[in-house]
Structure 1
């Protein structure tokens, strides 16, 4: 199937990157190359981590300033060998099961009709069906679809493989023919909320995508900082509107209906538990609505975490 590469975009997370690279070094099948794009404010710690693994892993290290998830990914793609046929994009806070890459390679070789395949995230929230979430078009079983309101239905930690309409940006393998035809939209700079949905949903209109139930990992999220929560809330609404505006299939009244539910849920969650700072996301949501009303969504830009 040709060579398999990994692209890891990172920023100021040397400890997390160490855990990820350790799990890659322990794989039953190693990738042919690993490209690390570092957007850190202070590069030496991340560079030192990469140097620790140079004897055991085929690492290429590059920096990019200013950072931005989609920009970092596009730079990584430009550095791929011409012999590479599959590329895995991994978040820097993942830990892979020891057979993840081997199981992914087996899947890709036996099911060549799929051009994008995601890993299962073991510790992803296994949300149960909810009447309210369905009422507001916030979810859709069995998961992995994009709802009528333009939101990605959660991908549960399934045990078997399944077809999907979107896949995670940071736990996913793409055929290089897709990366030649499609580009990550650099409008989703900085935090990149929904950029994975934007890219993979676009691809799914023409090529089948899947989740590989045997290739698995863990994702250890970092808690959001209080000072960023208003920005997150703004980004949540603005990027959602930007995404649905790129396609004709979404009913904007349903989108606004769903946005209202998410905004109210943030307020209620914030009032119930002040430690979540979700009331600050609610304020950001209101700002996001104002940007929709004043037609500022196309020019709104992301922010760095």
Structure 2
């Protein structure tokens, strides 16, 4: 499917910071696809800019903008604001994504026949494992973080896996950096800018809200991989803290979810990370567990508190 033969126009937003080599790899990957987006929007929040890289890809229709200070949700919203009036779909690609040959074409083929009630669709990540072990599952079930079901948001707010599907599959949430949305979604909803930095849980916050009134899918033939770099040891404590605080904030904004189950799940997540750290002599998991514990203290002091009646991330 060439760009000209698609019945819908696609814009792609790439939010990046200090990773010009990643931007080069992603743009090269997009360029190699049979289908090219009608507009590519690179939203740069870094000091090491990707502008020189962007200028190399003259055969792609790229708009380059900067956002300071950087934050994933702010950069995504800035990208939405730059999307042209003739755009029908807006995709959001992390700069460490890699799309298999024909992936964009498969995604556009899905949208060409999608029903009006379908609002979002994610690429099918083939480099993640859907398997589960019974002993691990028993512990997860105890703490309401069981991942045996597919594509669900549990009452604790915990999300189950959404990758490696064999056929197009309906889900309750979508990932943030490998997903395409109907542009009309952004007439009433924007990304929640309470989530700062890398925006952990922002994808769940946004997609779960949209999915309450619309259908969401994983597109089986639109295959991709997430080339995520290993988390440095010095970042594990902060990651653990953010896991808990941002998780609680998401649940606190959705009355259909349970704060009690979420808090119990956070305790479980802390204990599981601590157990992994002790049994495996893994400093990363130990630091993450300590970060989880600090997150629970932050929550106890009101760090993730927000009025459940407050409408956040909505266009005013």
> TM-score, structure 2 length as denominator?
0.89
CA-CA distance at 1:80 after TM superposition? 0.5
Show the counterpart of 2:248.
241
| Equivalent of 1:85 in 84, 88, 96 | 88
Aligned partners of 1:140 and 1:147 also within 8 Å: no
Show the counterpart of 1:125.
129
Show the counterpart of 2:284.
277
CA-CA distance at 1:274 after TM superposition? 4.7
- Within a 5 Å distance, the mapping from 1:54-69 to structure 2 comes to 54=58, 56-69=59-72
Measure the CA separation in 1 of the matches of 2:265 and 2:207: 21
Change (3 A) 1:272 1:141: closer
CA-CA distance at 1:128 after TM superposition? 2.2
Change (3 A) 1:209 1:72: same
The reply on whether 1:97 has 2:97 as its aligned counterpart is no
Show the counterpart of 1:302.
none
Count of aligned residue pairs for this structure pair: 296
CA-CA distance at 1:234 after TM superposition? 1.0
Show the counterpart of 1:116.
120
Show the counterpart of 1:39.
45
The reply on whether 1:218 has 2:225 as its aligned counterpart is yes
Measure the CA separation in 2 of the matches of 1:139 and 1:217: 25
Q: Secondary structure at the match of 1:277?
A: helix
CA-CA distance at 1:26 after TM superposition? 0.9
Q: Secondary structure at the match of 1:260?
A: helix
CA-CA distance at 1:280 after TM superposition? 1.0
Show the counterpart of 1:192.
199
Show the counterpart of 1:6.
12
Measure the CA separation in 2 of the matches of 1:82 and 1:298: 37
Q: Secondary structure at the match of 1:254?
A: helix
Q: Secondary structure at the match of 2:55?
A: helix
Aligned partners of 1:117 and 1:210 also within 8 Å: yes
Measure the CA separation in 2 of the matches of 1:58 and 1:98: 20
CA-CA distance at 1:136 after TM superposition? 2.3
Measure the CA separation in 2 of the matches of 1:254 and 1:75: 35
Show the counterpart of 1:287.
294
Gaps of 5+ in 1: 300-305
Deviations 1:239-296 (A, max 9, x none): 1110100011222222122111110111122223455511111111111111121112
Measure the CA separation in 1 of the matches of 2:203 and 2:40: 20
Measure the CA separation in 2 of the matches of 1:298 and 1:261: 20
Change (3 A) 1:276 1:15: farther
Measure the CA separation in 2 of the matches of 1:208 and 1:149: 21
Measure the CA separation in 1 of the matches of 2:73 and 2:40: 17
Tell me the C-alpha RMSD between the 2 structures. Answer: 1.5
Deviations 1:136-188 (A, max 9, x none): 22134441110121011111311211100000000000001101111100001
Measure the CA separation in 1 of the matches of 2:225 and 2:23: 13
> Which moves more between the two structures, 266-275 or 145-154?
266-275
| Equivalent of 2:268 in 261, 273, 278 | 261
Measure the CA separation in 2 of the matches of 1:198 and 1:49: 32
The reply on whether 1:144 has 2:144 as its aligned counterpart is no
Gaps of 5+ in 2: 1-6, 307-316
Measure the CA separation in 2 of the matches of 1:143 and 1:271: 30
Show the counterpart of 1:27.
33
